[in-house]
């Protein structure tokens, strides 16, 4: 039951909340897989009952998410014709907190297929904006498929919800079994300041798809069972089965007549038995007990099976085998490493276009919150804004330096280009270097003026009029 919502607002709220609830079980399962908390289904064979609760984990789902997420590195914005509004947005999003929130949203979008960044004003009068990231477990949104703008959004927090609609934000809390509207905030613009970050968008999946796919879930379960069987096998491998032919019961008792436990017999440093006397034609003879050991099965099939499943995971996720803990017999060369990462780099580069679009929408949301309005003039000022990212191939500093030298040799004017500095050092460091260069240039000009004036020895005089006064 709701108090304080109109019929249209209630319809929007119920639609968005039902989307969260519909996807919750699947998203929770992916979270458990990422955290290595999911229980694996057992077949009831090959695993002894005491070993079924053995904590065996495998981090392939987390690796499939974190590896490409670390290669998506936002690096500021660019625009063909700058403006004061662009500089404001650039500076607001260049602060450490917004940059960290963006990284959280990117990582969550790979885990659950999408994540949401909400932009609100600060409670103080400092003019700052606050960015909060929410996963698909706690948020949902309706997006215009033509423009990509958010039409409505819902965010859940402990004890309530926040509904974002054009021109207003509605806070809802649950009290005494009722959902009550506790606060309404009217805004001076119709932008819904929620940006959706998605991985793997398609026509059929406009909100993307998770990196933890159904095949990866199945391969992870198989891998955990292989490790569990290998762990069980290791216990038998370290204590192989032995036998004694012709032994007597008293050979397995201690001095007090107590039967020696099987474990004590197995871990003994030496297994020895005395010869047994026998009577044959009244002549005592000794019969020797025959001791032996059963051949233990090799553990190599388990390792080969795990390697086979790792190859399937590599094919599904485009992760090189060495990322999955499989060590090749011959160490790969630098060219082989780059070739093995080529598919992963290409996938990330293709996804950057969607993240560029999301970050551009985020910049517009920040501008609207900073000024409390969204006018056609502001839209024109930010037209053509482009979100930049560092190279997902993660080249070394030496490779970047060699590339820069070749470019400057071919295009001499790049020596003074700020674009080249941003490519090599990143947006933040490049801006600091440009400012420092300007300060140094200004200081050098001032020194030259002072030196020139100090070298002037002829005093400056004004001509006198006939009356002796200056004109």
- pLDDT, tens digit, 9 for 90 and up, residues 282-313: 455 666 777 777 777 777 888 899 999 999 99
H or E segment to which residue 103 belongs = helix 96-112
Instruction: Tell me which residue of 335, 334, 314, 312 sits closest to 324, measured CA to CA.
Output: 314
- Supply the DSSP symbol for 163: E
pLDDT at residue 239, as a whole number: 66
Per-residue confidence band for 254, with pLDDT thresholds at 50, 70 and 90: confident
Looking at the fold, whether 207 and 356 belong to one and the same domain comes out as yes
Domain presence at residue 431: yes
Domain presence at residue 388: no
Looking at the fold, whether 409 and 356 belong to one and the same domain comes out as no
Summarize the confidence of residues 154-160 as an average pLDDT: 91
For the stretch 174-193, pLDDT in tens is: 888 788 899 999 988 999 99
pTM greater than the 0.75 cutoff: yes
Domain presence at residue 323: no
pLDDT at residue 222, as a whole number: 92
Domain count, the chain: 3
Domain that holds residue 279: 241-295
In terms of DSSP bridges, do strands 178-186 and 2-3 run parallel, antiparallel, or are they unpaired?
A: parallel
pLDDT at residue 10, as a whole number: 93
For the stretch 48-82, pLDDT in tens is: 666 666 777 889 999 999 999 999 999 889 898 88
Looking at the fold, whether 348 and 277 belong to one and the same domain comes out as no
pLDDT at residue 11, as a whole number: 94
pLDDT at residue 16, as a whole number: 96
pLDDT at residue 52, as a whole number: 66
Domain presence at residue 125: yes
Looking at the fold, whether 360 and 441 belong to one and the same domain comes out as no
Looking at the fold, whether 251 and 375 belong to one and the same domain comes out as no
pLDDT at residue 444, as a whole number: 59
Angle among Cα 360, 364, 368 to the nearest 5 degrees reads 165
Q: What is the CA radius of gyration of the chain?
A: 36
Looking at the fold, whether 265 and 373 belong to one and the same domain comes out as no
Looking at the fold, whether 360 and 427 belong to one and the same domain comes out as no
How distant, in Å, are the alpha carbons of 81, 151, 162, 360 from that of 165?
A: 32, 7, 10, 20
Looking at the fold, whether 130 and 266 belong to one and the same domain comes out as no
Distance between CA atoms of residues 74 and 427, nearest Å: 9
H or E segment to which residue 279 belongs = strand 276-280
Domain presence at residue 120: yes
pLDDT at residue 187, as a whole number: 87
Looking at the fold, whether 112 and 252 belong to one and the same domain comes out as no
Task: Let me know: does 137 contact 30? Beta carbons within 8 Å.
Answer: no
Domain presence at residue 232: no
159 vs 398 pLDDT, higher one: 159
Looking at the fold, whether 411 and 287 belong to one and the same domain comes out as no
For the stretch 103-149, pLDDT in tens is: 999 999 999 999 999 999 877 666 689 999 999 999 999 999 999 99
Domain presence at residue 161: yes
Domain presence at residue 422: yes
Per-residue confidence band for 468, with pLDDT thresholds at 50, 70 and 90: very low
Strand partners, 163: 154, 170
Distance between CA atoms of residues 404 and 453, nearest Å: 41
Looking at the fold, whether 51 and 161 belong to one and the same domain comes out as yes
Taking CB atoms within 8 Å and a gap of at least 24, the contacts of 158-164 are: 161/13, 161/17, 162/118, 163/9, 163/12, 163/13, 163/16, 164/118, 164/192, 164/193, 164/194
Looking at the fold, whether 187 and 43 belong to one and the same domain comes out as yes
């Amino acid at each position: 039951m709701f108090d304080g919502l109109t019929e249209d607002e209630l319809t929007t709220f119920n639609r968005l909340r039902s989307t969260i609830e519909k996807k919750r079980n699947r998203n929770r399962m992916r979270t458990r897989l990422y955290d290595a908390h999911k229980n694996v289904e057992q077949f009831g064979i090959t695993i002894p009952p005491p070993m079924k609760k053995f904590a065996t984990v495998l981090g392939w789902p987390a690796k499939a998410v974190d590896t490409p997420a670390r290669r998506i590195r936002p690096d500021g914005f660019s625009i063909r014709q700058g403006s004061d509004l662009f500089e404001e947005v650039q500076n607001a999003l260049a602060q450490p907190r917004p940059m960290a929130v963006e990284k959280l949203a990117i990582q969550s979008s790979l885990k659950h297929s999408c994540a949401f960044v909400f932009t609100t004003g600060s409670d103080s009068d400092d003019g700052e904006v606050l960015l909060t990231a929410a996963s698909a477990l706690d948020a949902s949104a309706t997006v215009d498929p033509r423009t990509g703008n958010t039409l409505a959004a819902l965010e859940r927090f402990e004890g309530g919800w926040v509904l974002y609609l054009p021109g207003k934000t509605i806070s809802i809390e649950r009290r005494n079994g009722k959902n009550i509207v506790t606060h309404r905030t009217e805004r001076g613009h119709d932008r819904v300041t929620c940006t959706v970050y998605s991985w793997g968008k398609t026509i059929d999946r406009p909100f993307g798809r998770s990196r933890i796919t159904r095949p990866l879930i199945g391969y992870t379960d198989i891998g955990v069972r292989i490790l569990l069987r290998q762990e069980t096998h290791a216990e038998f491998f370290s204590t192989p089965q032995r036998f004694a032919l012709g032994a007597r019961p008293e050979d397995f008792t201690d001095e007090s007549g107590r039967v020696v436990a099987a474990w004590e017999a197995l871990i003994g440093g030496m297994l020895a038995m005395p010869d047994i006397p026998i009577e044959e034609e009244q002549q005592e003879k000794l019969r020797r007990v025959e001791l032996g050991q059963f051949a233990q099965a090799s553990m190599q099939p388990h390792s080969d099976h795990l390697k086979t499943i790792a190859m399937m995971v590599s094919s599904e996720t485009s992760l090189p085998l060495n990322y999955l803990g499989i060590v090749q017999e011959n160490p790969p060369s630098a060219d082989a490493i780059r070739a093995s990462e080529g598919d992963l780099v290409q996938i990330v580069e293709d996804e950057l276009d969607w993240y560029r679009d999301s970050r551009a929408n985020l910049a517009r949301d920040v501008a609207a919150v900073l000024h409390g309005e969204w006018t056609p003039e502001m839209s024109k000022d930010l037209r053509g804004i482009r979100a930049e990212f560092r190279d997902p191939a993660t080249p070394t500093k030496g490779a970047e330096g060699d590339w820069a030298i070749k470019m400057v040799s071919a295009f001499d004017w790049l020596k003074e280009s700020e674009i080249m500095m941003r490519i090599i050092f990143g947006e933040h460091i490049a801006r600091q270097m440009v400012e420092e260069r300007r300060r140094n240039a200004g200081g050098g000009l001032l020194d030259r003026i002072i030196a020139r004036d100090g070298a002037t020895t002829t005093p400056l005089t004004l001509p006198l009029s006939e009356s002796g006064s200056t004109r």
